[in-house]
Amino acid sequence: MESIKEEIEKLKKEKRAIILAHYYVPGEVQEIADYIGDSYFLSKKARETEAEMILFAGVSFMGESAKILNPERTVLLPDAQADCPMAHMASREKIREMRGKYEDLAVVCYINSTAELKTMSDVCVTSSNAVDIVKKLPNKNIFFIPDGNLGAYVAAQVPEKNIIVNEGYCPVHREIQEEDVKNARKEHPKASVLVHPECVSEVVRTADFVGSTSEIIQYACQSEEKEFLIGTEEGVLWDLEKKCPEKAFYPVKPGQCCLDMKKVTLEKVRNALKEEKYQVSLEPETMEKARRPLDKMLELGK
């Protein structure tokens, strides 16, 4: 009998599909992906691909971004309920209020956001390019949505701008507290602490390195150090251990798990390809408006 992985391989060929997987989905799903990465890398792959079908092993805003960037393709999500709570944590009203307050305002939208929020934004960013892109903007006043923690991190790196941060947050990263870093350092005194900028500022301030998931992986692989404490979603450990088997990785706080990302299973990937579900579908007007900030990000992020 065919294994589920063989079935997926066969379906991929039959449907001319590619699988894009985020670092936070289960390791067994990352294993069958054509590309594994963070949101920026995967959105570039989604735009460039010639495949007829894109299966996005991730949460809904990722599928939406892939569809917006490559509308001709069929984009599938293995679980229609896998959603990022932070992606909804900004409001139209607040954006309008801020635009009324500052004439030169740029609304900078973290890619972890709904298509609707993107339609109201000037430029999208990811955790790896947010600082560079904000620096390149001519605007003095910036409203950063939806993640307040990433916004605060960017504000600290770009003090010449007036960055107003929204109050959204990632529930997974917010769980990691300064006390957890202190305890983890006591337990592993030789380890460097690498954290994601979605963590709260007290954690970011005490870390040895702050970066996106890709940057954390790159830092750990290139470093001469041998032990690391990782302050982000635990899925990244799968890739770190695979890439650097001679090094030791410990979570800053065990159990930091994005339950929505973990909804993506091999069975659901197989079913999605087989039944061509769940197709991402957006209004043409929404796609058109949301594409502008995404395109601007890809242009400024070069």
Please give the residues from 145 up to 174 whose contact with ligand SF4 meets the rule CB under 6 A. Answer: 170-172
> Which of the ranges 79-87, 91-99, 213-221, 237-245 carries the binding residues for ligand SF4, by CB under 6 A?
79-87
Helix (H) or strand (E) holding 243: helix 236-243
Q: Decide: is 124 part of the binding site for ligand SF4 (CB under 6 A).
A: no
**Binding ligand SF4 by CB under 6 A: which of 66, 77, 195, 258?**
258
Prior bond to 146 cis, omega within 30? yes
**Binding ligand SF4 by CB under 6 A: which of 23, 24, 143, 238?**
24
Q: Decide: is 260 part of the binding site for ligand SF4 (CB under 6 A).
A: yes
Question: Which SS3 state, helix, strand or coil, does residue 121 take?
Answer: coil
Contact mark string toward ligand SF4, 49..68, x via CB under 6 A: ----------x---------
What ranges make up the beta strands (E) of the chain? Answer: 17-22, 35-37, 53-57, 74-76, 106-110, 123-125, 141-145, 162-165, 192-195, 209-210, 227-231, 248-251
Single out the residue of 123, 173, 128, 129 nearest to residue 147, CA to CA.
173
Helix (H) or strand (E) holding 136: helix 130-136
Residues in the interface with ligand SF4 (CB under 6 A) total 13
| 252 or 258: CB nearest ligand SF4 | 258
**Binding ligand SF4 by CB under 6 A: which of 19, 36, 46, 84?**
84
Residue with tokens 């970066």: 211
Instruction: Write out the residues near ligand SF4 by the rule CB under 6 A.
Output: 24, 59, 84-86, 112, 170-172, 233, 258, 260-261
